[in-house]
Chain A
Amino acid sequence: MPELAMRFGPYGGRYVPETVISALDELGEAYLRYRGDADFVRELNGLLDTYVGRPTPLYLAERLGARYGIDRLYLKREDLCHTGAHKINNALGQVLLAQRMGKRRIIAETGAGQHGVATATASALFGMSCCVYMGRTDMERQRLNVIRMKMLGAEVRPVDSGTGTLKHATSEAIRDWVTNVAETHYVIGSAVGPAPYPEIVADLQSVIGRETRAQMLAVEGRLPGSAVACVGGGSNAIGMFRGFLSDPDVQLIGVEAAGDGVETGRHGASLGHGKPGVLHGSLSYLLQDAEGQVAEAHSISAGLDYPGVGPEHSYLRDIGRVRYESVTDLDALAAFTALSQSEGIIPALETAHALALVGRQAAELNALGPVVVCLSGRGDKDVDQAGAALGINA
């Protein structure tokens, strides 16, 4: 039987309290079993097809391409997934797995609220109780998603510690899991956490890259010259990149949050400016101080406002397979407006970081051939915050 990856090079592992080790073992065994189980696969694929709306389109964004100076700019429309982002791909797979494992209670952490909404949605679909941990700051800046989660029947537990963002929500979710591990499945929202979570999340998100690869071959008759995705924990990025890791001619670029600018120290660029350390159960690049205390990240985008990153990204960075760049809040806002007004698509602020990078490095990317951006989520959730930042009132 194949095993799930525990490490990516030196990164990953499971640095967690002993209490949850047996649950991680159980999760890994269950995932391996059901991934090869015809009924499970049929049910999951059926839901991805008829409930999520997969495959998502690969859209040729001609007007944004012209604006940026890119001949063939494609958007992988994960924003068209049910609930508005790629997060549902993972949440649905994990909640279906939890149901097969006989768990009755689902917990999750959320930053931007997209993973929380996706998990609340999947829990409603399967009749499971759902509790989502969310930092107080994030509850304010992603208010609409808080309301959606509650409408879906989930309990949203505010987390007041620290800056009230994704790091703190994740810590609280893990503490809940340690305490209620027997009946609870923890649906982690990104390709982070203790093994086997990073591998399971990447596997469930790899549908993005698989579809993109086939769609590019169908419409262009070739692979893209480059694929670009934003990276907080990095689940949409790893889902996209897995479609092209074995194609050395496809340039892969992950885009982190530069916040106020990396020179200010107020950013979320762990791969660019962190060093290896352990947060939330795995060894990976991490923003930390000289003593190893985990630093607070800063980003206008709640989903990228995280001092850690998935361990596979750390490995891909070290071996040079993926290039990681960063984009400031201001540049992301400009790209947010550019896509909204040139294509009629309002992107999530997270996603806007990937678009901004494409705009910044358009000439170089255009020379490589068609460019694909993972349009990981839509921006409805960001109307309050982006509206305030852009001076747009009702």
Chain B
Amino acid sequence: MSIRPAPHWGSMPDGAARLQAAFPSNRAALIPYVMGGFPNVAASRDYAHALAPYADIIELGIPFSDPLADGPTIQAAGQRALEAGTRPSDVIEIAASLRGGPPVVLMTYVTLILSAGPERFFAHAADAGVAGVIIPDLPLDEGDSLRAAARAAGVAVIPLAAPTTSDARLAAIGTQADAFTYLVSVAGVTGGEVAVDDTLRAFVARARANISSPLAVGFGIRTPTQAIAIGAFADGVVIASHLIRIIEQADDHAAAIAAIGAYGAELASALAAGRSDAG
């Protein structure tokens, strides 16, 4: 586990402090993803609540028409959410319903935030208790005023880093990471299958050397075994597409809730055991 710098309580957005505090000291954080509005708003709210007891942080997706960073599973889920009439404000209301549970980060694309107006969007999100936002098409060179609006509202912007990111850029990304950094496990889109190998270990080690925030790894993590293996050298694991597949395969809504709840419990106990095994 990395040694983290003392939090800068004075300058840090409230959301960033809550997110940093959500990373347990003795195991990797579990960060499940729920696509807001898939297959409809009410059902996705139930899925988020089913996962909340096992989650350290919940990632809540706002569906977007053209999600460049997403593979077929999340694309299709987002498309269904849009066809069901899901609006960004519906997803922010799901976040509000999760108050008192693990902190929520919204995952969405930059143009939806620009369309709403960053001040308005982040004020609305902050009112709903949202702690952070992940914007996969906003690299560190873009969006200074958007970041300022988020910070003013107390919402942390979670930067992403990829295996193709240079050391110098990793360091620059680290200066923006006041909550945690999202490491993309592979060059690719969501929903593939991660290989827990020396390449991934070397990337996380390189990020560790350049970034002082907690490091969560996502993209392609499916099984508890993969989560344990990555949790041994990262501070958090994000499970997204696989949870959507579990929902898609369930016979009905009740079965889907039971299945993802059971999967969340399995992942949480695996991560706890994995870290204690690792000493």
Decide whether A and B are members of one complex.
Answer: yes
Chain A positions within 8 Å of B, measured between CB atoms, are 13-23, 161-162, 167, 171, 174-175, 178-182, 276-281, 283, 286, 288, 290-294
Binds A, one of B17-25, B160-168, B233-241: B160-168
Within 8 A of A (CB), among B85-114: 87-88, 109-114
**Is the CB–CB distance between A18 and B141 below 8 Å?**
no
Binds A, one of B65-73, B125-133, B243-251, B263-271: B65-73
Instruction: Out of B111, B141, B164, name the residue touching A20 (CB < 8 Å).
Output: B164
Q: A179-B187, A181-B187, A293-B82 are in contact. Are A174 and B68 (CB under 8 A)?
A: yes
Instruction: Out of B79, B110, B162, name the residue touching A18 (CB < 8 Å).
Output: B162
Nearest CB on A from B8, distance (A): 24
Instruction: Out of B79, B115, B137, B192, name the residue touching A16 (CB < 8 Å).
Output: B137
Instruction: Out of B69, B109, B111, B114, name the residue touching A178 (CB < 8 Å).
Output: B69
Docked pose: A22 CA to B164 CA in angstroms = 7
Which residues of A lie under 8 Å from residue B163 when comparing CB positions?
19
**Is the CB–CB distance between B111 and A182 below 8 Å?**
no
Nearest CB on A from B36, distance (A): 13
In order of increasing CB-CB distance, the 5 nearest A-B pairs are: A292-B115, A278-B111, A19-B162, A179-B188, A293-B65
Docked pose: A20 CA to B141 CA in angstroms = 13
Most buried by B among A18, A19, A22: A18
Within 8 A of A (CB), among B143-169: 160-166, 169
Instruction: Out of B75, B137, B140, B165, name the residue touching A278 (CB < 8 Å).
Output: B137
B139 at the interface (CB under 8 A from A): yes
Nearest CB on B from A24, distance (A): 9
Q: A15-B110, A18-B184, A23-B164 are in contact. Are A288 and B115 (CB under 8 A)?
A: yes
Apart from A179-B192, A181-B187, A278-B110, what are 14 other A-B pairs with CB-CB below 8 Å? A13-B142, A17-B136, A18-B162, A21-B139, A21-B165, A161-B79, A162-B65, A175-B71, A178-B189, A182-B187, A280-B68, A291-B88, A292-B111, A294-B65
Q: Mark B44-71, 1 if CB is under 8 A from A, else 0.
A: 0000000000000000000011101101
Most buried by A among B65, B69, B142: B65
**Is the CB–CB distance between A278 and B69 below 8 Å?**
no
Which residues of B lie under 8 Å from residue A171 when comparing CB positions?
66, 68
Number of interface residues of B (CB under 8 A): 40
**Is the CB–CB distance between A293 and B166 below 8 Å?**
no
Which residues of B lie under 8 Å from residue A13 when comparing CB positions?
141-142
Instruction: Out of A18, A181, A278, A291, name the residue touching B139 (CB < 8 Å).
Output: A18
Which residues of A lie under 8 Å from residue B87 when comparing CB positions?
291
Q: A18-B160, A19-B162 are in contact. Are A292 and B112 (CB under 8 A)?
A: yes
Instruction: Out of A15, A23, A162, A182, name the residue touching B137 (CB < 8 Å).
Output: A15
**Is the CB–CB distance between A18 and B165 below 8 Å?**
yes
Nearest CB on A from B2, distance (A): 21
Docked pose: A214 CA to B82 CA in angstroms = 51
Q: A15-B110, A174-B68, A175-B68 are in contact. Are A22 and B75 (CB under 8 A)?
A: no
Residue of A nearest to B182 (CB): A18
Give 24 A-B contacts (CB < 8 Å), ordered by A residue. A14-B142, A16-B68, A16-B137, A16-B139, A17-B136, A17-B137, A18-B160, A19-B163, A19-B164, A21-B169, A22-B169, A171-B68, A175-B68, A175-B189, A179-B188, A182-B164, A276-B114, A279-B66, A281-B137, A291-B88, A292-B111, A292-B112, A293-B65, A294-B65
